[in-house]
Structure 1
Amino acid sequence: MSSEPVDEIQVWKTFQSGSKDAYTSLYRLHVKAMYRYGMSLVPVSEAFVFDCIHDVFTEIWVKRERLSVPENIRHYLLKSLKVRIIHLLHRQEKSHSSLTQGDFDDLWSEPSADEIYIEKEAADNRREMVRRLIALLPHRQQEAIRLRYVENMDYQEIGNILAVNRQSAQNLVHRAVQKLREWLQ
């Protein structure tokens, strides 16, 4: 893969016109992030998460001509994945009665206003809790976390800013994440 930045919007538009290469490119650009995100939502099984990812990509292929161009493709794909996972988990909780046409009608339905509010409230609470926990970390680890996950910098760039080598930057981030995981469990 080349190191030049990819114009994702152009790739999306090419995909919408039916290009399988552009479709594959979108998959390759986002599958790892979708996998990490999916596993963070439901660490039940890799197969379940991959099935959901593939469902999302199948759905966008089928609907490609009707889809608009999202402002942020990764955000769109992650949100679609979350909706798919929640939907499938909710379906698994339902009784296993025979399938009706209604079961298929709501596969990709939009969440209700109440569901959106509850989800937003829960996300706000989680964000606040993580913010408080991050504030408990040593200053250097806080800065490393912020540079890595908010500013999206790689470890070399973080090392340059913090005046440490790449490995030390990676260690700072790793220790901070480890400590946060301990506190969250």
Structure 2
Amino acid sequence: MIGQLGEQQMWEAFQSGDEEAYTTIYRLHVKAMYRYGMSLVPVSEAFVFDCIHDVFTELWLKRKRLTVPDNVRFYLLKSLKVRILHLLKRKERVHLPLSEEDYDELWSEPSSVDHFVFNEELYNRQDLVRKLIDQLSPRQQEALRLRYEENMDYGEIASLLSINRQSAQNLVFRAVEKLRTWML
């Protein structure tokens, strides 16, 4: 993986209009953004991917006005969280447009307090998820580990577990659904 300094140089290249750097930033962070987005609230995958794409669209449009963040992943995760929460609030209050203050906050650089709160929330959530995963069956734990830690596709999981692809998908899906239910 690219180091922090390399990511910042890539960010600068993206700001200069380098589409390859933009695509690389997307590829480096989309999985983490997806996992984080899905962990925030019980919403559909399509909603999370729409929010991720909204974030990257805005990044491209505003690239020349953005500063280089100290931590690119943190910046992207915070932007995603703000986008998701904004859209969820908007669904509750359809008549309220995005205010200029909300819009500025969406792209502002996070403060050290934001970093601390974010890291604390992330640690607490990770600890809870680890404890809940321990309550799953060993087979479900293995399937989740293969899918999300080893980044294997369902065909590879099926082969390792000696089951068919659909059974591998079902095993992962049911484990994730059980975790979501427990987290609510």
Same fold (TM over 0.5): yes
Matches within 5 A, 1:128-143: 128-143=127-142
Give yes or no for contact 1:87–1:107 (8 Å, CA) kept in 2. no
Identify the residue that residue 60 of structure 1 maps to in structure 2: 60
**Distance in 2 between residues matched to 1:146 and 1:48, nearest whole Å:** 22
Give yes or no for contact 2:42–2:180 (8 Å, CA) kept in 1. no
Q: Which amino acid aligns with 2:154?
A: Y
Q: RMSD over aligned Cα, in angstroms?
A: 4.6
Identify the residue that residue 4 of structure 1 maps to in structure 2: none
**Distance in 1 between residues matched to 2:139 and 2:47, nearest whole Å:** 37
With over 3 angstroms needed to count, the CA separation of the structure-2 counterparts of 1:161 and 1:71, relative to structure 1, is farther
> TM-score scaled by structure 2?
0.60
Identify the residue that residue 125 of structure 1 maps to in structure 2: 124
With over 3 angstroms needed to count, the CA separation of the structure-2 counterparts of 1:77 and 1:135, relative to structure 1, is same
Q: Which amino acid aligns with 1:168?
A: S
Q: Which amino acid aligns with 2:59?
A: E
Higher relative contact order by CA 8 Å / sep ≥ 6: 1 or 2? Answer: 2
Give yes or no for contact 1:145–1:176 (8 Å, CA) kept in 2. yes
How much has 1:60 moved relative to structure 2? 2.7
Q: Which runs of 5+ in 1 are unaligned?
A: 1-8, 91-95
Aligned length: 169
Q: Which amino acid aligns with 2:60?
A: I
With over 3 angstroms needed to count, the CA separation of the structure-2 counterparts of 1:80 and 1:126, relative to structure 1, is same
Identify the residue that residue 156 of structure 1 maps to in structure 2: 155
Q: Which runs of 5+ in 2 are unaligned?
A: 1-6, 90-95
Identify the residue that residue 146 of structure 2 maps to in structure 1: 147
With over 3 angstroms needed to count, the CA separation of the structure-2 counterparts of 1:55 and 1:179, relative to structure 1, is closer
Larger Rg, first or second structure (1 or 2):
1
CA deviations 1:53-108 (Å, max 9, x no partner) are 4354233333269777x9988x8644542355568889xxxxx9xx78x7776552
Secondary structure of residue in 2 paired with 1:136: coil
Between stretches 77-86 and 170-179, larger displacement belongs to 77-86
Identity of aligned residues (%): 51
Identify the residue that residue 182 of structure 2 maps to in structure 1: 183
